[in-house]
Amino acid sequence: MRFLLHRAAQGAFVLIAISIVGFLLLHIAPGEFFSEIRLNPQIAPATVDALRVQYGLDRSLPAQYGLWLRSALRGDFGFSFAYNRPVSSLLWPRVRNTLLLNTVALTAAWLFALVLGAWAAAHPKGWADRLSAVLTSTMLVVPDLMFALALLMVAVRTRRFPAGGMLGLEAAEHSLWSQAQDFSEHLFLPVLTIVLGVFPILYRHVRSSLAEALASPFVQAARGYGLGRNQILFRQAFPAAANPLISLFGLSFGLLLSASLLVEVVFSWPGLGPMLLESILARDVYVIVGVVLLSAVLVIIGNLFADVLLYWNDPRIRAEWQ
Amino acid sequence: MWRRSAPCDASRNWDYGMSESLLEVRELRKTYVKPRMFGTGGAEVVALRGVNVSIARGHTLAVVGESGSGKSTLARCVVQLEPATWGQVWFAGVELTRLPWRQLRSFRSRIQLVLQGASAAINPAFRSWEVVAEPLQILKRGTGAEQKSAALECMRQVGLPLDLAERLPHQLSGGQLQRLVIARALVLQPELLVLDEPFTGLDVSIQAQIANLLLALQRERSLTYLLIGHGLPMVSALADEIAVMQGGRIVERGAAGSVLATPRQGYTQCLVSVAFGGAAARPSAEGSR
């Protein structure tokens, strides 16, 4: 319990620090939402000044942060200049769509990485292991955007998969099953793009951690007692290799909001990606701070979850805290 | 200090017949193939080039030599952790190198390997008694309570206080860890212990304690030791016979006293000279054990 409280307090501190740093950086960056409006000769400068006063932009930076903090505690997370609405009402539907996409993609990437990584570690230096090393190295150097564009091209050429969006235009008129099928088809290419980007990293970590554990002397000793290959893998190597993988799992949990931002833009997925891009271009500061903060919350939750798993898995950590 | 009370007779006949040998290794060869990036085959690394050794029941054969001479490979091939490329390993009249995996399993408890580097040879997530009980759990011998009781008994026999039973490996000293791996090897009541550099990383006084422990255990349990080591002084305190390895071959072999007192090969002379600081400091044939 003491361990959990300590980690939660650390997380809260990090969250406050990120909100301050994010807020500061966005205000230091040149330009603001109303700079572009000022260029419009049809809008009087006095009107722009009045709008700046209305949104509190005339106040000092600490005062603006205070206002934003009060709004965040109310659950609004500030006000969007572009949409003229509280940021939270803009974020939640898009957060849901982004979480859906990334949860499916990261779950698939982890499953493939665990199965294939374990297989490769158990058969080191075989042709399949060497081939997968070459393939994953190649995949690592290809940017996600290239995968996205290539798959988009495949979708357009073959017309087998929809090239964008989350549901077809007439989906609402169909049965629930047809809607689910339509949704799966829309989900496939964005998920595949994210998996292609994340899988090589996860696969390499799983393979190297397990290979190292399998080569460790205490696993060799267990082999010397006659333990079979599967038992060695699951009873000895996996628990021994778990710590770095648990930490990586915590980090990948933090990617649940950010892994798909570019992919969403390419595939017109109605998630956080397209809205964040628009907000950055328009200097809609509070939307950006809101997204950054939500990502930070997920990173912190992911790390907290990883810490709890490490505490549960590793008696050395438990001994340290008892 | 750790020397045996009764010195061995240097004129003893060391050429054991098949019937007296607990372990006999014949023409053992081991070649590792370093795979190419693409395609089959690859560069060959020859670790053992036809090794012949035998150990009589209750005796100790020490295999010494520089790093990379093939000592540890020999140890791993003897306990069947590595398959030999060629040659035979006979244990108690049975050829282990021909046995299928399932039948080999019944022999594994009779031959135990004490791996070098005790801290790495122990699962860091296990408590001390769990480390010792692990072989019993793997081989499904006895109930959980019986396994724990056997583990605690072995810990007591190797001189580990029972209040260490619940400690994790990182909470133990180097000497305690070495005792723990010896206890783990003893829990299956083996006949042959293959000790791969059991003194590595320990200070001199702890080395002496471990050597004393090994001698006491050999006396109590009639254990046979295949001792792999670098340091001739410590090895000579335990060994009945010494085999000197170089480049995957046994270059000299004989009674410990005679090998140390009158080394025939230049390589052995060099090892003895480095270990004992010249001929004047060499132990006599009678006093080596």
Label residue B37 by pLDDT band (50, 70, 90). Answer: low
Distance CA B78, CA B88 (A): 9
Q: Which of A293, A260, A297 is nearest to A103 (CA)?
A: A260
Residues of B in contact with A225 (CB under 8 A): 108-109, 134-135, 138-139, 188
Among B120, B134, B170, beta carbon nearest to A216: B120
Distance CA B248, CA B73 (A): 9
Residues of B in contact with A319 (CB under 8 A): 168, 171
Distance CA A125, CA A139 (A): 20
Among A125, A130, A240, beta carbon nearest to B123: A240
**Cβ contact, residue pair A221, B184, below 8 Å:** yes
**Would you mind telling me the total number of residues written for chain B in this entry?**
289
pLDDT of residue B148: 95
Q: What does DSSP assign to residue B174? A: H
CB of B128 within 8 Å of a chain A CB? The answer is no
Higher-pLDDT residue of B103 and B144 is B144
SS3 A257: coil
For residue A84, pLDDT over 80 is answered with yes
Domain map of chain A by residue range? 2-87, 91-145+199-321
Query: For residues B229 and B256, is the Cβ–Cβ distance under 8 A?
Result: no
Distance CA A191, CA A155 (A): 14
Distance CA B184, CA A265 (A): 59
Query: Hunting for tokens 């793997």 — which residue is that?
Result: B138
For residue B19, pLDDT over 50 is answered with no
Query: Hunting for tokens 């290959």 — which residue is that?
Result: A229
CB of B154 within 8 Å of a chain A CB? The answer is no
Q: Which residues of A touch B (CB under 8 A)?
A: 125, 130, 216-218, 220-227, 231, 236, 239-240, 313-316, 319
Nearest-CA distance from A295 to chain B in Å?
A: 34
SS3 B99: coil
Residues of A in contact with B109 (CB under 8 A): 225
Among B38, B81, B168, beta carbon nearest to A224: B81
pLDDT of residue B85: 93
Helix orientation angle between A176-215 and A238-254, rounded to the nearest 10 degrees:
130
**Average pLDDT rounded to a whole number, residues B147-176:** 92
pLDDT of residue A81: 86
CB of B230 within 8 Å of a chain A CB? The answer is no
Label residue B38 by pLDDT band (50, 70, 90). Answer: low
Helix orientation angle between B174-186 and B128-138, rounded to the nearest 10 degrees:
20
Give Cβ neighbours of residue B80 (< 8 Å, ≥ 6 apart).
Answer: B89, B96, B97, B104, B108, B111
Distance CA A26, CA A32 (A): 9
Nearest CA in chain A to B114: A221
Distance CA A201, CA A186 (A): 25
**Per-chain mean pLDDT for chain A:** 87
Q: Which of B79, B123, B180 to mutate to test the interface with A (most CBs of A within 10 A)?
A: B123
**Cβ contact, residue pair B168, A239, below 8 Å:** no
Amino acid found at B23: L
Burial class, A304, CB count within 10 angstroms (exposed 0-12 / middle 13-18 / buried 19+): middle
For residue A206, pLDDT over 90 is answered with yes
Distance CA A280, CA A241 (A): 41
Distance CA A132, CA A203 (A): 9
Nearest-CA distance from B145 to chain A in Å?
A: 20
**Average pLDDT rounded to a whole number, residues B128-157:** 92
pLDDT 10s digits, B241-261:
999 999 999 999 999 988 988
Residues of A in contact with B122 (CB under 8 A): 218
Residues of B in contact with A125 (CB under 8 A): 35
Rounded-to-10 torsion of CA A58, A64, A68, A70: -110
Inter-residue long-range contacts of B161-165, CB under 8 Å, 24+ positions, other chains counted = B164/B128, B165/B127, B165/B128, B165/B129
Distance CA A130, CA A16 (A): 46
CB of B115 within 8 Å of a chain A CB? The answer is yes
The rounded percent of chain A whose pLDDT value lies above 70 is 99
Residues of A in contact with B115 (CB under 8 A): 217, 220-221
Straight-line distance from the first to the last Cα atom of chain A, in angstroms, rounded to the nearest whole number? 10
Q: Which of B198, B269, B260 is nearest to B227 (CA)?
A: B198
Higher-pLDDT residue of B41 and B112 is B112
Strands B241-246 and B249-255: antiparallel
Nearest CA in chain B to A129: B37
**Cβ contact, residue pair B139, A224, below 8 Å:** no
Residues of A in contact with B170 (CB under 8 A): 316
Alpha helices per DSSP H over chain B = 71-78, 101-108, 128-138, 144-157, 174-186, 204-221, 232-238, 256-261, 266-276
**Average pLDDT rounded to a whole number, residues A114-118:** 94
pLDDT of residue B286: 41
Q: Which of A132, A218, A238 to mutate to test the interface with B (most CBs of B within 10 A)?
A: A218
Burial class, B203, CB count within 10 angstroms (exposed 0-12 / middle 13-18 / buried 19+): exposed
**Cβ contact, residue pair B127, A239, below 8 Å:** no
Residues of A in contact with B138 (CB under 8 A): 222, 225-227, 231
Strands B224-229 and B192-196: parallel
pLDDT 10s digits, B198-234:
888 788 888 888 899 999 999 998 999 999 987 788 8
**Two structure tokens written together for A255:** 């990617």
Among B120, B121, B135, beta carbon nearest to A225: B135
**Cβ contact, residue pair A315, B121, below 8 Å:** no
**Two structure tokens written together for A30:** 């040149």
pLDDT of residue B8: 36
Architecture of A91-145+199-321 per CATH? Answer: Orthogonal Bundle (1.10)
Specify the DSSP element, H or E, that contains B9.
Answer: none
Distances in whole angstroms, Cα of residue B256 to Cα of each of A133, A249, B8, B59, B248: 50, 56, 9, 12, 20
Residue B98, by phi and psi: left (phi above 0), alpha (psi -120 to 50) or beta?
A: alpha
CB of B113 within 8 Å of a chain A CB? The answer is yes
Query: For residues B228 and B75, is the Cβ–Cβ distance under 8 A?
Result: yes
**Cβ contact, residue pair A217, B184, below 8 Å:** no
Q: Which segment of A90-104, A222-236, A305-319, B84-98 scores lowest on mean pLDDT?
A: A222-236
For residue B278, pLDDT over 70 is answered with no
pLDDT 10s digits, A131-168:
899 999 999 999 888 999 999 998 889 888 887 787 77
Q: What does DSSP assign to residue A214? A: H
Query: Hunting for tokens 């493939």 — which residue is that?
Result: A112
**Cβ contact, residue pair A314, B125, below 8 Å:** yes
Nearest-CA distance from A125 to chain B in Å?
A: 7
Specify the DSSP element, H or E, that contains A99.
Answer: helix A87-122
Amino acid found at B57: R
The rounded percent of chain B whose pLDDT value lies above 90 is 45
Distance CA B182, CA B187 (A): 9
Strands B224-229 and B60-64: parallel
CB of B168 within 8 Å of a chain A CB? The answer is yes
Strands B86-91 and B60-64: unpaired
**Cβ contact, residue pair B123, A218, below 8 Å:** yes
